[in-house]
């Protein structure tokens, strides 16, 4: 029987600070499950929300942020029903308890946060890294100063409110990090003082509205930071914005305290197990089963892809804000420290070793965790995604304008990326990063070679990842060089953006056409469905649960050894590398054969298979960032701790979200986790399935046949990757992004031919020694027979740049802005942007002309493209008819409605000379050089002001 509501919720009006209960119940057969959602995000049990078994919802300490429409949903296997109600909240005026402490607290917060950050920077950058903690901190430390300032502001804002709370603690019922819920956070500070804290902390300075007014540029190209992709919601998917949420967070206190903080609180009658104990009991394995279908490249592409989509900004300090003591020594949950406790019987610390593993919290978004700067209300803490969410090759080009400028070769004005050492093969490596000592110079006895520079700061994490970064650098420069050869009139910016657009499209195609089918199988790809076009109502942002848990499934696919093979697929003289030898070791690329041996090892060696008893190899759980005489880190424990830091709801809540049965006991997991030993380990660890952390449960699920994911992972992958595709205005298959012929070229992209065969010397892909590995080079993830993307046929003079938009390039001859003699050549220009602004007059001519030149020959041979060819030819015929009508005209129509005869010339103003040619108005605009005197004089009849020399 389909669910029917027996009690429906009604609208509620409440005063801020009170608890509100909303009733909802339903009956049906089977008995329906009741869930609640707000603004499309499912609510979960936490310090903020309480859901009873009957379906009643309690919202604790309501504030303006809680206002809105709540939906009650009843589901069973037969169907579902929903009803909703509206909650409104009134905030009374008046002073708050902590107002008198604001000014002194903000000064104390600024001093303590800045002191801790400066101490950390001295420790990290004034010497070579000496511990795994140093390596981890350097690895994650933001390199863009704007990112640093934004993270600092968020820390100061939150620290200020913590100090205020401490001042008024004696009069409150609980402290801010407690687990009791009768403290009213909304009453801590009044709106006026919240604005003052926002201003003094720096939060207000970092609020900005992106400028999407340059329609010509934003219609054709992505911004570096992802803004203006969605013109209705220009911050969706942009870098340095908060992660999205599928389910509401489950902070211990409802707002900011990590799940399980302190370890003593009971959750459903049980304490949460230590992440380190979960790792040693359930996750770590010495045994590795080879994948019988796919090579290690499957894992490596996943990591490379992940580094295009998300990077959480970590706290800028390794020391406690309260007293500056290092987190690794204190072993206390004192912000930003959130150490991983190590039990006394742990094999790592027997004999008096460390009591904890180093771990610091992620930085908060400014204002989250305590209050909203816009609504003066309590909001849960959110974390910052440092990257653009879209699959746009940000790991090659960077996610900010500053990062882009760092990796571009701006001196040549050929649209290239910077290159590094040129090898004997003639192929270049990545350029070296400059600046203070880095994580790659941790041991001077090995090599003084610094880290490589790439669009993502994690490019040096391990050398196989470095190899893929190198491939895409070469691919960009190959395409840019070809575009310049075909279109020598293009400037460096046009070449760069066109090549970047092509590279990003190739990555999208390889991911969705080649990689995802291996991960999700036919069943998953059918559920995702074909691309149906851009949907501006879809937010393409990355979900916190995807970045923090779901996509970390790839850690289970990592082999403990990186193989390095020669042209005959035999080990090179320097041998293979254990993972701990591969971390932050660019010298092994420079001095030990380049990237070719690593690439052969990726596609020529079987990957690691995930089986229930073999999850993460010990190189990751026991030897991560291992250094002599130090305690290594544990990636599995860090993943679990990060999930609690981000307040990711438990596994059971995601089962409900994914329409799986809610597990009341561990036997209810038998369909997804069939191995009884694994279920028994989970029972001993957690006591109840209601407490299981998301990440270990996702990797413990049995994989669906012909896929590499379990049911819950399948659900989360489909949700995220569908939104990344459908919510991207520049998706490569979206009509208008590429011409049909160009799209055909893009769809030929594959890792084998385009990114391996075309870039490696003596790849040996057809050698007999490789034939025995053919089942690992399986399906279409590697296509040795496919040619690389060739711009020659379809990108010649195709681009209509923003200086000459509206002009048919073949006819206009690309009239250039006339330069004064001081800047006669493009390389002498002081600023291309100034020229574009000066050319804006010409753009306002608003001539309606064709912008695409067809090349009939480029369509030959594409049998599957008949319909597109037909439509394109029809479009070209229409353009030709329009062109012919213009050519037959004996006059031109100017912007003011006047007429000029064919062949006539006139001065539109002192700087603009126009001509009527072939029915078109063509204008040349003179660009004035920068004056060499302080007070130049404008002379009548002259465009440029002049300098008079006085005796």
- Domains along the sequence of the chain with CATH: 4-90 (2.60.40.10), 99-214+273-288+304-385 (no CATH), 800-927 (2.10.70.10)
Report whether 26 contacts 55 (CB < 8 A). Answer: yes
Residue with tokens 């679990």: 640
702 Rama sector, left if φ>0, alpha if ψ -120 to 50, beta otherwise: beta
Alpha helices by DSSP H, 432-591: 463-486, 492-509, 516-528, 544-548, 579-582, 586-591
Please give the Cα distance from 313 to 319 (Å, whole number): 16
Task: Give how far the C-alpha of residue 891 lies from the chain's centroid of Cα atoms, to the nearest Å.
Answer: 53
pLDDT, tens digit (0-9, with 9 covering 90-100), for 222-233: 999 999 999 999
Report whether 165 contacts 172 (CB < 8 A). Answer: yes
Q: Are β-strands 891-893 and 284-285 bridged in parallel, bridged antiparallel, or unpaired?
A: unpaired
Cis peptide preceding 30, ω within 30 of 0 = yes
Residue with tokens 């080079």: 777
Report whether 9 contacts 24 (CB < 8 A). Answer: yes
- Residue 716 tokens, joined: 């989360």
- Residue 557 tokens, joined: 């696919």
Indicate if the pLDDT at residue 637 is higher than 90: yes
CA angle 897, 902, 904 (to 5 degrees): 85
* C-beta neighbour count of 784 within 10 angstroms: 14
HEC string of 621-637 equals HCCECCCCCCCCECHHH
12-16, 181-185, 230-234, 585-589: the lowest-pLDDT one:
181-185
Band of pLDDT at residue 895, cut at 50, 70 and 90? low
Upper half-sphere CA count for residue 291 (Cβ side, 13 Å): 32
The per-residue pLDDT for 127 is 62
Band of pLDDT at residue 199, cut at 50, 70 and 90? confident
Q: Are β-strands 12-15 and 80-90 bridged in parallel, bridged antiparallel, or unpaired?
A: parallel
Going from the C-alpha of 889 to that of each of 783, 844, 899, the distances in angstroms are 52, 21, 11
The per-residue pLDDT for 368 is 59
> Mean pLDDT, to the nearest integer, of 363-385?
69
Average per-residue pLDDT in the chain? 81
Upper half-sphere CA count for residue 678 (Cβ side, 13 Å): 22
64-78, 129-143, 264-278, 388-402: the lowest-pLDDT one:
129-143
Q: Is 555 annotated as a binding residue?
A: yes
HEC string of 95-107 equals CCCCHHHHHHHHH
- Residue 583 tokens, joined: 């971390």
The per-residue pLDDT for 879 is 58
Please give the Cα distance from 83 to 69 (Å, whole number): 10
Q: Are β-strands 920-927 and 818-819 bridged in parallel, bridged antiparallel, or unpaired?
A: parallel
Residue with tokens 């999208």: 508
What predicted TM-score, i.e. pTM, was given to this entire model? Answer: 0.79
Q: 315, 317, 312: which is closest to 123 by C-alpha?
A: 317
The per-residue pLDDT for 927 is 66
Q: Which are the catalytic amino acids?
A: 307
Report whether 305 contacts 724 (CB < 8 A). Answer: no
The per-residue pLDDT for 849 is 32
Provide the β-strand partners of residue 286. Answer: none
Upper half-sphere CA count for residue 662 (Cβ side, 13 Å): 16
Indicate the DSSP class of residue 50. Answer: E
């Amino acid at each position: 029987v389909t669910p029917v509501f027996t009690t429906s919720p009604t609208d509620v009006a409440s005063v801020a600070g009170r608890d509100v209960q909303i009733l909802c119940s339903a009956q049906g057969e089977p008995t329906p499950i009741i869930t609640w959602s707000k603004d499309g995000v499912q609510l979960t049990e936490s310090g903020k929300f309480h859901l009873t078994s009957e379906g009643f919802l309690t919202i604790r300490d309501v504030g303006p942020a809680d206002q809105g429409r709540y939906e009650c949903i009843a589901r069973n296997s037969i169907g579902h029903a929903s009803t909703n109600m509206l909650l409104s909240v009134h905030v009374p005026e008046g002073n708050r308890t902590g107002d008198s402490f604001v000014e002194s607290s903000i000064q104390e917060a600024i001093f303590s946060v800045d002191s801790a950050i400066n101490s950390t920077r001295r420790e990290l950058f004034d010497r070579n890294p000496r511990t795994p903690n140093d390596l981890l901190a350097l690895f994650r430390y933001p390199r863009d100063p704007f990112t640093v300032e934004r993270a600092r502001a968020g820390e100061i804002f939150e620290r200020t409110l913590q100090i205020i709370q401490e001042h008024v603690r004696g009069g409150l019922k609980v402290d801010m990090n407690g687990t009791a819920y009768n403290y009213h956070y909304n009453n801590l500070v009044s709106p006026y003082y919240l604005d003052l804290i926002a201003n003094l902390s720096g939060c207000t300075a970092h609020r900005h509205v992106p400028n999407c007014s340059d329609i010509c540029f934003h219609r054709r190209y992505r911004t570096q930071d992802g803004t203006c992709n969605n013109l209705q919601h220009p911050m969706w998917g942009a870098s340095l914005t908060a992660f999205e949420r599928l389910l509401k967070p489950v902070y211990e206190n409802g707002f900011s305290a990590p799940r399980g903080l302190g370890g003593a609180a009971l959750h459903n009658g049980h304490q949460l197990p230590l992440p380190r104990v979960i790792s040693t009991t359930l996750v770590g394995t010495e045994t590795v089963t080879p994948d019988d279908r796919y090579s290690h490249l499957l894992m490596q592409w996943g990591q490379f892809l992940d580094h295009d989509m998300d990077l959480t900004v970590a706290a800028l300090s390794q020391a406690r804000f309260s007293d500056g003591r290092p987190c690794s020594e204190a072993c206390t949950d004192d912000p930003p420290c959130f150490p991983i406790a190590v039990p006394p019987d742990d094999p790592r610390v027997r004999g008096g070793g460390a009591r904890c593993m180093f771990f610091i919290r992620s930085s908060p978004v400014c204002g989250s965790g305590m209050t909203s700067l816009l609504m003066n209300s309590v909001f849960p803490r959110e974390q910052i995604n440092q990257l653009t969410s879209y699959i746009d090759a940000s790991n090659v080009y960077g996610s900010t304008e500053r990062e882009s400028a760092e990796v571009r070769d701006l001196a040549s004005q050929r649209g290239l990326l910077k290159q590094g050492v040129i090898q004997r093969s003639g192929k270049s490596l990545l350029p070296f990063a400059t600046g203070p000592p880095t994580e790659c110079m941790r041991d001077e006895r090995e090599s003084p070679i610094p880290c490589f520079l790439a669009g993502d700061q994690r490019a040096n994490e391990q050398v196989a990842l470095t190899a893929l970064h190198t491939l895409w650098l070469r691919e960009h420069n190959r395409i840019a060089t070809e575009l310049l050869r075909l279109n020598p009139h293009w400037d460096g910016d046009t070449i760069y953006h066109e090549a970047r657009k092509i590279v990003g499209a190739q990555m999208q195609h390889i991911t969705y056409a080649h990689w995802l089918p291996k991960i999700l199988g036919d069943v998953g790809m059918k559920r995702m469905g074909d691309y149906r076009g851009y949907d501006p109502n879809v937010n393409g942002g990355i979900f916190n649960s995807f970045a923090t848990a779901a996509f970390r499934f790839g850690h289970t696919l990592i082999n403990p050894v990186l193989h390095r093979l020669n042209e005959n697929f035999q080990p090179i003289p320097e041998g293979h590398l254990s993972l701990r030898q591969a971390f932050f070791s660019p010298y092994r690329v420079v001095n030990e054969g380049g990237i070719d041996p690593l690439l052969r090892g990726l596609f020529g060696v079987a990957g690691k298979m995930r089986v229930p008893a073999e999850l993460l190899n010990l190189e990751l759980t026991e030897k991560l960032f291992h250094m002599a005489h130090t305690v290594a880190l544990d990636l599995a424990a860090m993943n679990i701790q990060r999930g609690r830091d981000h307040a990711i709801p438990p596994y059971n809540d995601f089962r409900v979200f994914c329409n799986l049965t809610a597990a009341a006991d561990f036997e209810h997991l038998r369909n997804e986790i069939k191995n009884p030993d694994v279920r028994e380990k989970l029972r001993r660890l957690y006591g109840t399935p209601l407490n299981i952390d998301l990440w270990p449960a996702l990797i413990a699920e049995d994989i669906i046949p012909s896929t590499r994911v379990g049911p819950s992972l399948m659900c989360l992958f489909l949700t995220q990757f569908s939104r990344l595709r459908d919510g991207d205005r520049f998706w490569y298959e979206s009509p208008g992004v590429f011409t049909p012929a160009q799209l055909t070229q893009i769809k030929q992209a594959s890792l084998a031919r385009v990114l391996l065969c075309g870039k490696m010397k003596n790849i040996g892909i057809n050698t007999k020694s490789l034939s025995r590995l053919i089942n690992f080079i399986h399906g279409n993830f590697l296509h040795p027979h496919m040619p690389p993307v060739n711009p020659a046929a379809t990108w010649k003079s195709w681009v209509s740049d923003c200086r000459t938009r509206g002009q048919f390039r073949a006819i206009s001859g690309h009239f250039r802005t006339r330069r004064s003699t001081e800047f006669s050549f493009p390389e002498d220009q002081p600023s291309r942007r100034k020229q574009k602004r000066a050319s804006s007059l010409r753009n306002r001519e608003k001539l309606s002309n064709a912008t695409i030149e067809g090349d009939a020959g480029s369509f030959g041979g594409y049998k599957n493209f008949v319909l597109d060819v037909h439509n394109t030819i029809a479009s070209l015929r229409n353009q030709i008819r329009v062109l012919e009508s213009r050519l037959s005209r004996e006059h031109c129509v100017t912007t003011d409605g006047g007429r000029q005869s064919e062949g006539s010339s006139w001065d539109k103003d002192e700087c603009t000379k126009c001509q009527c040619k072939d029915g078109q108005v063509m204008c040349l605009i003179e660009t004035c050089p920068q004056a060499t005197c302080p007070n130049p004089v404008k002379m009548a009849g002259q465009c440029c002001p002049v300098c008079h020399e006085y005796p």
